[in-house]
């Protein structure tokens, strides 16, 4: 029972990734987070292609659709946390990442979702991706214009997507999550970088809360559309959801909060003048 709980705890890492992205991007080093998001989104598109390439069928106990090698859960977790460790180069954070990724790997094997081979395949694919990505990020063009790195990965993704069999378009929603993020987050980051805003700690808390609320409302709206029009293309719907999410978190929430803050300050000034009048 205790082992089940611990293993399940490690397997909620996808939700942890989403939380870290929102909080880290809005409160931390945006360039680090946006480069991490780009490789994470690309991995969401790459993994189904690798599954299709190797075509290792499910085994008893697996819960996915079709192929299991390399593990998508492991590869996505490795891409996000591993690259974030590369960006920050902090010993304590790197130790945390090693423990977290070890726990994810153990949880996947413990519950029978994947074998050790699936997990090692995901890590190997992640390491190869890191080598190429590291060379790209050191190019002067991408150092100066970080957002272009996202669009380059989107271009690289196009032939991969065109290679997929049609059935993957529906059952592998992570493909369209990756596409939506790579479509919108580069432009959101560009807008944000040209309208840099310095919020206090407490203001950042409000921004994060507002961001989460917006993401939840977008999700509710998409679910409502899917329920009202079940024939609506799921790939298109998922892509739209993550385009809106990326635009909101990447730039929209900060711009809206800055506008509200400005209006509030103006309102207080008017009230102060009236009080002394």
Residue-range domain boundaries for the chain: 2-276
Residue bearing tokens 């989104």: 41
Alpha-carbon gap, residue 199 to 70, rounded angstroms: 42
182-194 per-position pLDDT tens digit: 999 999 988 888 8
Q: What is the structure's pLDDT at 184?
A: 94
Q: Are 247 and 184 in contact (CB under 8 A)?
A: yes
Mean pLDDT check: name the lowest of 15-29, 224-238, 246-260.
15-29
43-100 per-position pLDDT tens digit: 999 998 898 888 777 655 544 456 788 888 899 999 999 998 998 888 898 998 998 8
- Average pLDDT, whole number, for the chain? 82
pTM for this one? 0.87
Q: What is the structure's pLDDT at 3?
A: 46
Q: What is the structure's pLDDT at 58?
A: 67
Mean pLDDT check: name the lowest of 12-26, 104-118, 188-202.
12-26
Would you place residue 230 in the very low, low, confident or very high pLDDT band (cuts 50, 70, 90)? confident
């Amino acid at each position: 029972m205790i082992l089940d709980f611990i293993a399940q705890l490690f397997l909620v890492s996808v939700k942890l990734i989403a939380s870290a992205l929102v909080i880290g991007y809005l409160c931390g080093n945006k360039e680090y987070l946006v480069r991490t998001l780009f490789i994470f989104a690309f991995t969401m598109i790459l993994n189904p292609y690798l599954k299709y390439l190797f075509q290792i069928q499910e085994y008893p106990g697996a819960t996915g659709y079709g192929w299991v090698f390399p593990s998508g859960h492991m590869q996505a977790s490795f891409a996000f946390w591993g690259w974030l460790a590369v960006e920050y180069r902090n010993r304590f954070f790197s130790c945390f990442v090693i423990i977290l990724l070890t726990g994810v790997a153990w949880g996947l094997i413990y519950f029978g979702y994947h074998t050790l081979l699936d997990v090692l395949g995901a890590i190997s694919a992640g390491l190869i991706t890191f080598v190429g990505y590291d060379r790209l990020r050191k190019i002067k063009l991408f150092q100066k214009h970080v957002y272009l790195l996202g669009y380059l990965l989107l271009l690289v993704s196009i032939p991969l997507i065109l290679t997929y069999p049609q059935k993957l378009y529906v059952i592998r929603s992570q493909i369209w999550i990756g596409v939506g993020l790579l479509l919108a987050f580069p432009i959101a980051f560009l807008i944000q970088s040209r309208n840099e805003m310095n919020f206090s700690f407490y203001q950042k808390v409000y921004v994060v809360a507002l961001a989460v609320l917006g993401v939840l409302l977008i999700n509710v709206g998409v679910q409502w559309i899917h329920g009202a029009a079940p024939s609506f293309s799921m790939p298109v719907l998922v892509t739209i959801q993550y385009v809106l999410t990326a635009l909101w978190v990447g730039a929209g929430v900060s711009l809206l909060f800055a506008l509200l803050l400005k209006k509030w300050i103006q309102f207080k000034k008017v009230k102060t003048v009236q009080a002394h009048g």
